[in-house]
Amino acid sequence: MLQIIILAAGKGTRMKSKSAKVIHTLCNKPMIEYIIEESLKLTNTIDIVLNHQFDKVKEIVSKYPVNIIKQDLQNFPGTGGAVKEVSLKGDKILVLNGDMPLITADELKKFLEVDADIVMSVMKLKNPDGYGRVVIKEGNVLKIVEQKDASEEELKIPYVNAGVYLFKKEVLEEFLPKLSNNNKQKEYYLTDIIEMAVKKGLKVKAIEVDEESFKGVNSKKDLAEAEKIMCRRIKDFWMQQGVIMHLPDTIYIDAYSNFEGECEIGNGCVIKKSTIIESEIRPLSVIEEAVIKNSGIGPMARIRPKSEIIETHIGNFVEVKASRLKGVKAGHLSYLGDSEIDEGTNIGAGTITCNYDGKNKYKTKIGKNVFVGSDTQLIAPVIIEDDVMIAAGSTVNKDIKKGSLAISRAPIKIIKNFYYKFFGRKE
Ligand code: UD1
Ligand code: CA
């Protein structure tokens, strides 16, 4: 039986963050969740070691069927200390660092295919900075030296430890108790087991992997680089499903968005936690927690949470929040918040739902085939029934009955030749 141990107790000092490292997100989803989801494809026996911001991280990981363990960082710090805390259940034990969000189940399967006492992973990097170096002689791994403990010669080694290991249970049982913290960081390094095992004549095999899947995230720069890779994977997936993307490098799609049917996404769009069905999202639009169906959005539109937009045209500089629009045209410069707008209705440029009085939010309801003239203010709560016309520039603070015209307008005053008097110029 395979057991997976995920190490996520560390402080993440190099991240320079108030949050625990493993809950930083890639494409809106915490790093640790990707690792758990991939691990669950291989086994149901997963232990996850936590400590730093224990409650906060626990809350995130406990939605998965994993066994949570708290590491005693005071007495047993380090990756070896973390593994010491776990009761060894599997005959084979795969140990993963919790800061490797790009790992995939397919890559992990490769470890299971190798016959050895320890299978570890090595990357050859142009810039090995931050990783432990792997000392290899005549094709055989001798040991792993942590960057902080490495000599100048060792720092030049381009081979690094990727941070995934498959151990036979007996190997951990034998060597975990023998780890010492006699090093620069005064930590129990899991990586020291390699040298011990080699010296004992055990079979240690290394497989070569690449950063595309094994990158460790230590700093915010690493986080940004990993997010780029993850976001590209997400976009590649959706393009394969038939979504058209213009300049995909400029598009951000989070891990929780879905597309159905043929959709087209313009450059510079941001799409989070949304479902887009048979719609076109034009350049530079931002869409969050919305459902958009058979519609055209943007360019430069903003659709905010709890919006449902069906068979609707939303043009530039229109902001929609917590609204349901069906069969509507809102072409220019509007704020539509807490509203429900029905088929055949046209929202003129500059229309604003005044949904907030400084204390509470109120709803605006607009029926079918309503013509809302430009620059209308709808003071909520307000109900506009079907077939209503609202004249441009009106302030609507009363419900309007079916078929009516509403017009609120101060009469215009025209003063002849005022210009010439004011500037003292001649006609
Ligand atoms: C570790 C490896 C290094 C490797 C690199 C790959 C060790 C000693 N070093 O270094 O050889 O090149 O990963 O990315 O293993 N953690 C705990 N408890 C602790 C300390 C760490 O659970 O007491 C967890 C962290 O939360 C993190 C993971 O272990 O998810 C790795 O810790 P980190 O400090 O990032 O190790 P590196 O210095 O990157
Ligand atoms: Ca790391």
Query: 368-408 pLDDT, tens per residue?
Result: 999 999 999 999 999 999 999 999 999 999 999 999 999 99
The conformation of residue 383, written as its DSSP 8-state character, comes to E
- Alpha carbon dihedral 72, 74, 76, 77, in 10-degree steps, equals 100
The conformation of residue 399, written as its DSSP 8-state character, comes to -
**Position 158 in a domain:** yes
> Each residue of 340-350: pLDDT tens digit?
999 999 999 99
**Position 176 in a domain:** yes
Domain boundary among 208, 239, 255: 208
CATH number at residue 131: 3.90.550.10
Helices (H) and strands (E) in the chain, counts: 10, 36
**Position 96 in a domain:** yes
Bridge partners (DSSP) listed for residue 321:
337
Give percent helix, percent strand, percent coil of the chain, each to the nearest 5.
25, 35, 45
Q: What is the pLDDT of residue 139?
A: 87
What are the DSSP calls for 279-322, one per residue?
A: -EE-TT-EEESEEEES-EE-SS-EE-SSEEEES-EEEEEEEEES
Q: Note down pLDDT in tens along the chain; length 427 residues.
A: 999 999 999 989 999 999 999 999 999 999 999 999 999 999 999 999 999 999 999 999 999 999 999 999 999 999 999 999 999 999 999 999 999 999 999 999 999 999 999 999 999 999 999 999 999 999 899 999 999 999 999 999 999 999 999 999 999 999 999 999 999 999 999 999 999 999 999 999 999 999 999 999 999 999 999 999 999 999 999 999 999 999 999 999 999 999 999 999 999 999 999 999 999 999 999 999 999 999 999 999 999 999 999 999 999 999 999 999 999 999 999 999 999 999 999 999 999 999 999 999 999 999 999 999 999 999 999 999 999 999 999 999 999 999 999 999 899 999 999 999 999 999 8
Helix (H) or strand (E) holding 338: none
Burial class (CB in 10 A: 0-12, 13-18, 19+), 73: middle
Q: How far is the centre of ligand 2, averaged over its atoms, from the C-alpha of 10 (Å)?
A: 9
Which atom of ligand 1 is found nearest the CA of 7?
Answer: 22
Percent pLDDT > 70 in the chain is: 100
Best residue among 16, 79, 84, 144 to mutate for probing ligand 1's pocket (most ligand atoms within 8 Å of CB) is 79
**Position 93 in a domain:** yes
- Other CB atoms within a 10 A radius of the CB of residue 102 amount to 24
Nearest residue (by CA) to ligand 1, atom 39, is 131
**Position 374 in a domain:** yes
Q: What is the pLDDT of residue 427?
A: 84
Q: How far is the centre of ligand 1, averaged over its atoms, from the C-alpha of 8 (Å)?
A: 9
Bridge partners (DSSP) listed for residue 206:
120
3-class SS of residue 393: coil
Domain boundary among 208, 234, 249: 208
**Position 237 in a domain:** no
Start-end of H helices in 113-199: 152-155, 169-175, 192-199
Asked whether the beta carbons of 205 and 87 are under 8 A apart, the reply is no
Per-residue exposure over 348-373, b if at least 16 CB sit within 10 Å of its own CB, e if not: bbbbbbbbeeeeeebbbbbbbebbbb
Domain boundary among 178, 208, 238: 208
The pocket around ligand 1, CB under 6 angstroms, is made up of 7-10, 22, 49, 71, 73, 77-79, 81-82, 97-99, 131-132, 144, 146, 160-163, 189-191, 216, 218
Structural domains in the chain (count) = 2
Q: How far is the centre of ligand 1, averaged over its atoms, from the C-alpha of 44 (Å)?
A: 23
- Concerning whether 246 is annotated as a catalytic residue, the answer is no
**Whether 202 and 348 share a structural domain:** no
**Position 184 in a domain:** yes
Which tokens sit at 125?
């990097």
Q: What is the pLDDT of residue 98?
A: 97
Q: Can you give the residue range of the structural domain that contains 419? A: 339-427
CATH number at residue 359: 2.160.10.10
Q: What is the pLDDT of residue 163?
A: 96
Burial class (CB in 10 A: 0-12, 13-18, 19+), 175: buried
Instruction: Give the list of residues 6+ apart from residue 369 with CB closer than 8 angstroms, or none.
Output: 343, 344, 345, 386, 387
**Position 271 in a domain:** no
CA 119 – CA 203 distance, rounded (Å): 9
Q: How far is the centre of ligand 2, averaged over its atoms, from the C-alpha of 114 (Å)?
A: 24
What phi-psi label fits residue 408: left (phi over 0), alpha (psi between -120 and 50 degrees) or beta?
Answer: beta
Which of 148, 142, 145, 181 has the alpha carbon at shortest distance from 160?
A: 145
